[in-house]
Structure 1
Amino acid sequence: MLTRVGLSGPLVSRQFGQVGQKRNFFLTYGIASVVGSLIFNENNRLADKMENGQLHYKDANSVFNSAALEEKNRLFHRAPPQYPGHVPLYGFEKALMVLGSSIGAYFHPERNEFIVGLGESTAIPSVLKKLQKQMLDDSTGRKILRERPRITSTSLDLDYLRSLPENTVGNTYIRWLDREGVSPDTRVPVKYIDDEELAYIYQRYRECHDFYHAITGLPIIIEGEIAVKVLEFMNIGIPMSGLGALFAPLRLKPSQKDRLYNIYYPWAFKSGLNSKPLINVYWENILDRDIDEVRRELGVEQPPDLRNLRKDYFEKLKKSKKL
């Protein structure tokens, strides 16, 4: 009996051990299943919240990142166009345009894109607002701003201008266009000035440029352009005109500089300062008026004929070489 009891003891122990292991296994498996189920359900709950936009993660840097993004948007947000054709520029883009167009205009003054870019990139708002006030203070200027006329081959009847008497503003203008081989349509639309009315004022200045040539008789050659630019700067104050007067003569020949500095600069300073504001002239409404009478009213003197001065200079130079 003792032997049987002794033999049965280990068997009973092993049996109880196996039962205990099975209980531990089932207990561990049950706990893991419950925990896994809870985690799985929590993940599903979070996924549902995320899908519905209800999950918000509190980022410690969120305040900083939000402020940085707001500052970035403020600095690099391109404003919407203010009028048809308007191209808003960042400050650094305008600075690059000033630099690039200045260099281009200096070495290639015959290329219109450089002149256009330089003009608009240097059109300081304070100067344009001064012109705006000047126009608003004048009855004719207000009418121009109200009616917004454009000077083109469509708005002007060029055949009618040719039919006008020779000494009228309109006939003088069309004869100058024909002689120089240009058209009113060569003045491109303004697109880099942000304010819509200021853009029109600059467009008006640009389109009236040929009338300044016509009433003064100055041709489209480098000296004539510089002389008209000085007149414009002294009367209207557009910065590009002043820059042209300052730097353009640097590349001229001594004879050209002599004519400019001794004849046309003094004339342009005097006429520009003493004449009435040219931006307020409604040229389209005075085309049939006597040109000399208009010059007197405006206070613009007609300078010596530049082409004749150049012709005389070359004839003298030719004679001196023969001698």
Structure 2
Amino acid sequence: MAALSRKTLLRAVRSSFGLSKLSAAQDFLGHRRWRSQRPESFTPKDGYYDDECYSALYKTHIPTNPLQKGLLAVGAGVMALWDPYRHGKTPSVVCLIPSFADFTFAPLFTFSDMVAVLGETTGHLALQRIRERMRNDPEGNQILQERPRIRLTTLDLTRLNALPDGTFGKEYVQFLNVHKVTPDSRAEVKFVDDEELAYVIQRYREVHDFVHTLLGMPTNMLGEVAVKWFEAVQTRLPMCILGAALGPLRLSARRLQILTTTLVPWALTNGRNATFMMNVYYERYWEMDMESLREQLGLMPPPTF
């Protein structure tokens, strides 16, 4: 009976989506057996998937089919709205992704990854546009070629903290200290099925705090929504658009008024007029005065509110 039900389901998928072979329907449904435990350090040679068609493109890559991506996007969207703050502030509860081969579930990630998962599963077209803009810009193309990372292992925070007040590097370290955040809080990319696009979205995550610093926005809900409006205009990532549109629903009446009358117009103007954020090699500007850097990038200073 179970076998009959599975075959019926596969035929229905084949018919609905125009898949010519039963094996294609099986692939669409994830009919490739997942191992029950995820390796602690995933690499292609670990054999996490039983079929070569699921080979990993980079160390943290977890290949998924369209249906699984859709389920991840829906679940991640719900959880991101429940707790939209940066990674690491949500409970470390393990989430599951269904394996339709045997109708069981495999552990993949925690709630703290949900915002990241939403960006990865919905942003393919936007990431392609971002990459194209980076390729067509000398500084952006150099970033793609050199692939710098923003981690505690790549930053000399002691040196940056010793820079004069008002410099970009000093302001960035103060931002980290005041808001008690760390560059290492950014999740590694897992669900982007293109190695270069995976770096693009990783870079987007890792420069997010640089954008906060330059825009002068805090990491509370009001500040995050304002930054999302700026990023939505610049990147067109669905995750940013969703955050900009739905984030205000969680604001108080007073903060909503500040957002709509002051911060949104300011963020939209900055997003349209400023240098494309992904084409800025921020690590080269540590010693530059903040006001001069904002002027060079076409950014208006933060409003008073």
State the TM-score, normalized to the length of structure 2: 0.75
| 1:104 counterpart = 2:103 | no
Let me know the Cα RMSD of the aligned residues: 1.5
**1:193 Cα offset (Å):** 0.6
2:44 corresponds to which residue? none
The 2-side partners of 1:231 and 1:71 are apart by 41
Q: Which structure carries more helix by proportion?
A: 1
The 1-side partners of 2:135 and 2:82 are apart by 38
AA aligned to 2:230 is L
Report matched runs for 1:1-323 at 5 Å. Answer: 68-72=21-25, 74-75=27-28, 76=30, 79-110=54-85, 111=90, 112-123=112-123, 125-305=124-304, 309=305
AA aligned to 2:122 is T
Count of residue pairs brought into register by the alignment: 239
Tell me the secondary structure at the aligned position of residue 54 of structure 2: coil
State the TM-score, normalized to the length of structure 1: 0.71
Sequence identity percentage: 38
Tell me the secondary structure at the aligned position of residue 176 of structure 1: helix
Contact 1:176 1:217 in 2 (8 A): no
The 2-side partners of 1:296 and 1:101 are apart by 37
Which structure has the larger Rg over C-alpha atoms? Answer: 1
**1:235 Cα offset (Å):** 1.4
The 2-side partners of 1:131 and 1:159 are apart by 32
1:31 corresponds to which residue? none
Tell me the secondary structure at the aligned position of residue 193 of structure 2: coil
The 2-side partners of 1:289 and 1:243 are apart by 34
Contact 2:113 2:187 in 1 (8 A): no
The 1-side partners of 2:122 and 2:159 are apart by 37
1:104-156 deviations in Å (ceiling 9; x for gaps): 11122233322122121221x22111111111111111110111100011111
Q: Which structure carries more strand by proportion?
A: 2
The 2-side partners of 1:255 and 1:69 are apart by 57
AA aligned to 2:137 is D
The 1-side partners of 2:154 and 2:125 are apart by 30
Tell me the secondary structure at the aligned position of residue 194 of structure 1: coil
1:267-311 deviations in Å (ceiling 9; x for gaps): 000000011111010011111111111101111112224xxx3xx
Contact 1:83 1:196 in 2 (8 A): yes
Contact 1:87 1:191 in 2 (8 A): yes
AA aligned to 2:131 is Q
AA aligned to 1:129 is Q
Contact 1:227 1:268 in 2 (8 A): yes
